[in-house]
Structure 1
Amino acid sequence: MSCLLLLLASLLWAGMAWGQQAESQADDIEIAVRKEGATVIVDVGMPVKASLRSAWEVLTDYDHMAEFFPNLDSSKVVEQQGNRLRIEQTGKVAYGPLSFPFESVREIVLTPYSKVHSKAVAGTIKHGEAITRLVSEGSTTRIFYHSESVPNTWVPPGIGPNLIAGRTREQFASLREEILRRANRERPAMAETGETPGKANGNSSAASGTSAGASGDAGRGRAESSEGVK
């Protein structure tokens, strides 16, 4: 019992440290995590100074998510029919010296450029659904995320939500950093061609489920994060 208490205390300290560090780096990201029975509910609100199109292309870039989400080892689209996708992701969540691997298979329904609905169909989560919404506010896009999930492992009522909140903030900060990185890279090219940021061009097929992404074919128009947010 004393070992268990020591472990829980160390996890709480680690969670507070991560949370404080993430808070200082992304204190404008609103995070709310709570438990209702076995269900973990996460709500996020995050502004990013980029166009709706730029935010969408990163949110939907499933084939490259492992490159900018620190908890993902792999991410790929295994099936696509129009705006309906099935994705597989693997990764691990680290709490101090401990590391917990996870697998996720999700069905995605896209509504460009405003909403992504995600449902877990296999993996280490018994049940999980999430909705990501994008709202344009001039030169800023605001991202809203809501998820309800039942993990296969027990989540301690007090410590668990705090740790999840810290990790979620970290994930969304990484997401915003990637959106800004790509948006800043695109602006000089748009200035040369006279194209308006966020304006769909003749080759764009994001409205039918494809997206530009990191390397010209990245993502095929896919969206959403997590505890991660995933």
Structure 2
Amino acid sequence: MTLSFKDLNNPIPDLTWSQQKALSQGEVLVETRSHSSWGGAVTAQMYLPIARSSAWQQLIDYPRWVEYFPDLTKSEVLHQGQVKHLYQVAQKSFVFLTAQVEIYLNVFEVEGKHIQFRLEKGTFNDFTADLKLKDFDNGTLLTYSVQATPNIPIPTIFIQQGMQMELPRNMRQMRQVLCAA
């Protein structure tokens, strides 16, 4: 999964040479930021040593997302069409507390390049996610951005810390599943 120095001379805009090198060595790059007074936002990027078309076909198999994200217990397509409707349930255990969230999403796809997830309804005040794919070396650069505000007041710092710790683990799991197919 390592890129050659030659490949890193063919840069991806908006990424430094050191970021591209880190990605090529399997690191997941994560950037968190504030989003509303009780929410958080995060962007994660990773390199997939598979063709973009292969990654795309697997990523639009939404019921399979339970394999990518361990806390996701259900991912079901309710309606197929130009706009897909997706229902997802996740469960997260904390020390003495288990929280369950459910979300109904409108899903917009730009074939082979971009998936947008927009909140229809659920246990969030707001939720958006964007997944983008770009060719990178002999594989694919996957960029996943999420911003969300839960409907229970949790300080932003805790939301951001949770996202920063959980998303890289989830992304590594996603890469493992995608590349094993």
Q: Does the Cα contact within 8 Å between 2:104 and 2:121 map onto a contact in 1?
A: yes
Q: Secondary structure at the match of 1:57?
A: helix
Q: TM-score, normalised by structure 2?
A: 0.79
Residues 91-106 of structure 1: matches in 2 within 5 Å? 91-106=90-105
TM-score (norm 1): 0.63
Larger gyration radius, structure 1 or structure 2:
1
Aligned: 1:53 with 2:53: yes
Tell me the equivalent position of 1:112: 111
Task: For residues 84-142 of structure 1, give each alpha carbon's deviation from its aligned partner in whole angstroms, at most 9, with x where no partner exists.
Answer: 20000112022344321110100001111001111011111111112111001131200
Q: Which residue of 2 aligns with 1:189?
A: none
- 1:58–1:178: 8 Å Cα contact kept in structure 2? no
- SS of the residue aligned with 2:63? helix
CA contact (8 A) 1:29 1:169 kept: yes
- Contact 2:38/2:156 (<8 A) preserved: no
Looking at secondary structure, tell me which structure has more strand per residue: 2
Which residue number in structure 2 is paired with residue 78 of structure 1?
78
Q: What is the number of residues matched between the two proteins?
A: 156
SS in 1 for 2:80: strand
CA distance in 2, matches of 1:90, 1:140: 31
Alpha-carbon separation, structure 2, partners of 1:150 and 1:130: 12
**Structure 2: which 5+ runs fail to align?**
1-24
Q: In percent, how many aligned pairs have the same letter?
A: 19
Runs of 4+ in 1 over 4 A off after TM superposition: none
Query: Relative to structure 1, is the Cα distance of residues 147 and 68 closer, same or farther in structure 2, using a 3 angstrom cutoff?
Result: closer
1:44 aligns with 44
Unpaired runs of at least 5, structure 1:
1-25, 183-230
Q: Are the counterparts in 2 of residues 50 and 141 from structure 1 also a CA contact under 8 Å?
A: yes
2-structure distance, mates of 1:174, 1:94: 18
CA distance in 2, matches of 1:158, 1:63: 31
Could you say what the CA RMSD is over the residues aligned between the two structures, in angstroms? 1.8
Give the secondary-structure state (helix, strand or coil) at the position aligned to 2:91. Answer: strand
